[in-house]
Amino acid sequence: MTQLPTEVFHVQRQEDLGAPLQAFLEQHASRGAPCTLRVKLAPLVFEAQHLTLDDVFNRVSPIILIVEGEGGVATLRRSTLKLRAGRVLLRNLVLQEPASEGPVLQLAFGQQLLAQQVALVDARRLDARSGDPLVSLRVEYGSASARAVFKECWFVGGQAEGPAALLEAPRGGRGALETLTLDGCVFAENRAAVGIEPWFTQRVEVQRTLVLEPHLRGPFLHIQSPIPHVTLDGAAIAAATPLGFTPNADVPRHAMPPARAAGSLLLAAAPLTDAEVEATASTLRAGAPPAAPEGLRERALQGEAPDIDGLRASAGLA
């Protein structure tokens, strides 16, 4: 396999995130040749940036775009982030108190998205009239086999006004999402209409993920089409409504397959039915979701991988 050429841009100070970074992207992406562009941020706090890195130079992007903390976790405070390339990778980043009338984190990609040890803490989506989510995923460049993975990420204390989700997969556009995977993540104390809307994603995989969501106005996983097949593996989901299915005139309820849960714990205000979940070696309980363990927000701000077992024990969900 041919090794792609790699170009690296080091962000050592606030000013580097402006014109120098945009010039770096334009210089290399405009060539139209496959390459890896790595943006390495020093483990500092960068303030009030609305950072856009968008490969607008290629009809089908050949770029692998990596944005990561270097030698530790980099924090973008009161900042938003918009990335678009053939493949997008995020690592070792904290977005603290981002606020916007649209999504605070927009990720568009053709083949692959990987977000690892990324924390979104106290995010705000401000416009109550908008249905935009806090986190928006888009598949671009006509891809039908794109995959998105969130691994060891935190989503804590976010707030989306109006009829909005925390995280929304593509509902249309230029491509389709084959798989959305949540692996070892934490969702806690967010306020929004719903948690995740996978729309036309083919498979949703929730693995060893902890959900503590007493404040969602609707379901954590909101299914509105017959396409998503949801699997829960070693997950603990505590919400008034862990799973919700919304039929319409074109899609009757019986066309939506139940989620499949293995080795998982689902705590809901009302017991889940067989039409909602097929449980194997899993526990389905009725009750109010517990509050997040003390100090959870501070742990998220450190940007390290969540201790899922320890957090579950602290929340009484071991």
Report, as an integer, the average pLDDT of 212-219. 96
Report, as an integer, the average pLDDT of 262-284. 92
1 pLDDT higher than 50: no
118 pLDDT higher than 80: yes
Q: For residue 272, what are the β-bridge partners?
A: none
Dist CA 148 CA 179 (whole Å): 6
71 pLDDT higher than 50: yes
Tokens 């729309």 -> residue:
199
48 pLDDT higher than 90: no
pLDDT given at position 174? 65
Dist CA 95 CA 152 (whole Å): 15
pLDDT given at position 173? 60
Report, as an integer, the average pLDDT of 29-57. 93
% pLDDT > 90, the chain: 81
pLDDT tens-digit map of 136-194: 999 987 777 899 999 999 999 999 988 899 999 987 666 779 999 999 999 999 999 99
pLDDT tens-digit map of 126-135: 887 788 999 9
pLDDT given at position 131? 85
HEC states along the chain?
Answer: CCCCCEEEEEECCHHHHCHHHHHHHHHHHCCCCCEEEEEEECCCEEECCEEEEECCCCCCCCEEEEEEECCCCEEEECCEEEEEEEEEEEEEEEEECCEECCCCEEEEEEEEEEEEEEEEECCEECCCCCCCCCEEEEECCCCCCEEEEEECCEEECCEECCCCEEEECCCCCCCCEEEEEEECCEEECCECCEEEECCCCCEEEEECCEEEECCCCCCCEEECCCCCEEEEECCEEEECCCEEECCCCCCCHHHCCCEEEECCEEEECCCCCCCCEEEECCEEEECCCCCCCCCHHHHHHHCCCCCHHHHHHHCCCC
Phi/psi region, residue 26 (left: phi>0; alpha: psi -120 to 50; beta: rest), is: alpha
